Amino acid sequence: AVAGYKATLGADSPPGCYDDIDHAGTIFIAGSNTAYAHPILFRRIEDARKRNPDLRLIVVDPRRTDTAEEADLHLAILPGTDVALFHAMLNVMLWEELIDRAAIAAHTEGWQALRDRVRDYTPEKMAPICGVAAADIVQAARWFAAGPTLSLYCQGLNQSSCGVDKNAALINLHLASGQIGKPGAAPLSLTGQPNAMGGREVGGLANLLSAHRDLDNPAHRAEVARLWGVDDVPATPGKTAVEMFEAVRRGEIRAIWIACTNPAQSLPNQALVHEALQAAECVVLQEAFADTETAAFADVLLPASTWGETDGTMSNSERCISRVHAAVAPPGEARADWDIVCDFARRLMPEQGARLFPYASAEAVFDEHRETTRGRDLDITGLSYALLDAGPQQWPFPEGALAGQARLYADGIYPTENGRARFHAAPYRPVAEAIDARYPLHLNTGRLRDQWHAMSRTGRVARLFAHADTPVLSMNARDLELRRLKAGDLVQVKSRRGEVVVVAEASDSLRPGQCFLPMHWGARFMGGLGINALTLPAFDAVSKQPELKH
């Protein structure tokens, strides 16, 4: 999502807001089972549809999920064909003159290359590739262009070897039809984790610095060096998750510090991840729970406080920052993550650490981050803890402003060198690993309603665990019959990387040739290395996000 926004709009700044739900004429959901993964947001969509019976809902998802069940039009595409679908929709908009030529001419660049690209992506040609009817592609394009259209999308687009192309191809539709910068019209990425937006704001990616600065940009590095009072900032980006564990296994990285994540369950190709953690000379784990899959590999375990024991801020998908107050004190020796890092820095380099990590509170960390945003697209120099204590605020909120900005780019000016948004003319590419005679089924993974990620917390709640206490492989009844299986049978599920044994069930939510497993189960709750023993580590060349789907 980050790379998709930057490639098209120039910055990782989602242009819409949740209020757009109430103004939309069409809501277009792609790669997200919003009803399960973002239930509060989906309740708001349901309420909006009750108030406005004309509000149309289009859902793009290979499975007939709870979200898809509510759709006026469900496009059950074949796995990985999102770009082909979006290009076909743009082809319809071109032929039926549903594009906003004035906005394209005034506020964008790269239109001719994209127009030439999609010319051959007719609904009739793309229908068999996508596995949906050509008439449905045409209908989706017409509803989308009529607008106002709000797109909501998540990991189904992001977790792909061409995830950036998928994000950008969807944003192309908004730019071409003028569905951006006005009430009810925006491409709004839904974050896959709480405060994922906040992590992006402070530079929590291997190639980023604070306030949407790029590590490969000398001017950005110089700005941060001045703010920190250091000579320079390293120019070499860090390794992304998949690359990092490959390097640990090879011995290029000998020590690894893991904070607030559980890679021995959550990363693809678990066999490689476990080999890497065993090969590492030192594994430091900063974690709130001592029994996660990764904790078994830890040489040093640093107890961290959870969100309910921590003071700070969080940012959501609509750029809204909220204050978080600790409900209870951290137990035992547990401390906030920022406090652990500062203590380590002062012990590692007493003089430099005291100067560079002087923070005595979470508010002091926030104040420094706030200053790094001055003049940037996410300028929050007008915010303070006192103002946030009065209520959440959206960025940008520069010094002197009376309120944040709900929608971006209403003036058609984008944070690019020439102020124009950029069309992205990438071709459709199939999934990284094709099905064949030995591996004839697609596998998608995703969330269940009552669990979250690796169940380090939600797996402890009996009421939640009772909803689904074991991983179940959902298959089309025809696929079960062809393999002489019946619902309730134990089945061995095998990929090119590993295998698991689970219970099978028949499901009419899947077409033949596709399967679904919930992502939550790791080695703590089932035999073997968990669901991600099956998934592949192929990743997007730009975002480096792995293809955890299909």
pLDDT digits (tens, 9 = 90+) for 399-455: 999 999 999 999 999 999 999 999 999 999 999 999 999 999 999 999 998 888 898
Which of the four pLDDT bands, split at 50, 70 and 90, describes residue 289?
Answer: very high
| pLDDT at residue 192 in the model | 84
Is the pLDDT confidence value at 372 over 80?
yes
Structure pTM?
0.96
DSSP string, 429-448: ---SS---SSS--EEEEE--
The structural domains of the chain, with segments of one domain joined by +, span 2-190, 196-394, 442-533
Instruction: Give yes or no for a contact between 483 and 441, defined as CB atoms under 8 angstroms apart.
Output: no
Residues of the chain above pLDDT 90, percent: 94
Dig out the tokens for 266 from the structure.
Answer: 């959550």
Task: Please tell us whether the domain made up of 442-533 is placed in CATH 2.40.40.20.
Answer: yes
Cis peptide before 148 (omega within 30 of 0): yes
Which of the four pLDDT bands, split at 50, 70 and 90, describes residue 522?
Answer: very high
DSSP string, 499-515: EEEEEEEE-TTS-TTEE
Q: Name the amino acid, one letter, at 451.
A: Q
- Name the 3-class secondary structure at 260: coil
Indicate the average pLDDT of the chain. 96
Q: How many CB atoms lie within 10 A of CB 499?
A: 12
Q: Using the CB atoms, write b or e for 446-462: b if 16+ within 10 Å.
A: bbbeebbbbbbeebeee
Q: How many CB atoms lie within 10 A of CB 383?
A: 23
| pLDDT at residue 300 in the model | 98
Topology of domain 2-190, per CATH? Dimethylsulfoxide Reductase; domain 2 (3.40.228)
Q: Do domains 196-394 and 442-533 have the same CATH topology?
A: no
Question: Phi/psi of residue 152, each to 5°?
Answer: -125, 125
Residues of the chain above pLDDT 70, percent: 100
Residues 6+ apart with CB under 8 A from 473: 491, 493, 502, 503, 504, 505, 515, 516, 517
Instruction: Give yes or no for a contact between 477 and 505, defined as CB atoms under 8 angstroms apart.
Output: no
Class for the domain spanning 196-394:
alpha beta
C-alpha to C-alpha distance for 311 and 129, rounded to whole angstroms: 50
C-alpha to C-alpha distance for 375 and 377, rounded to whole angstroms: 7
Of the candidate ranges 198-207, 460-469, 480-489, the one whose mean pLDDT is the lowest: 460-469
Per-residue pLDDT tens digits for 161-217: 999 999 999 999 999 999 999 999 999 999 988 889 999 999 999 999 999 999 999
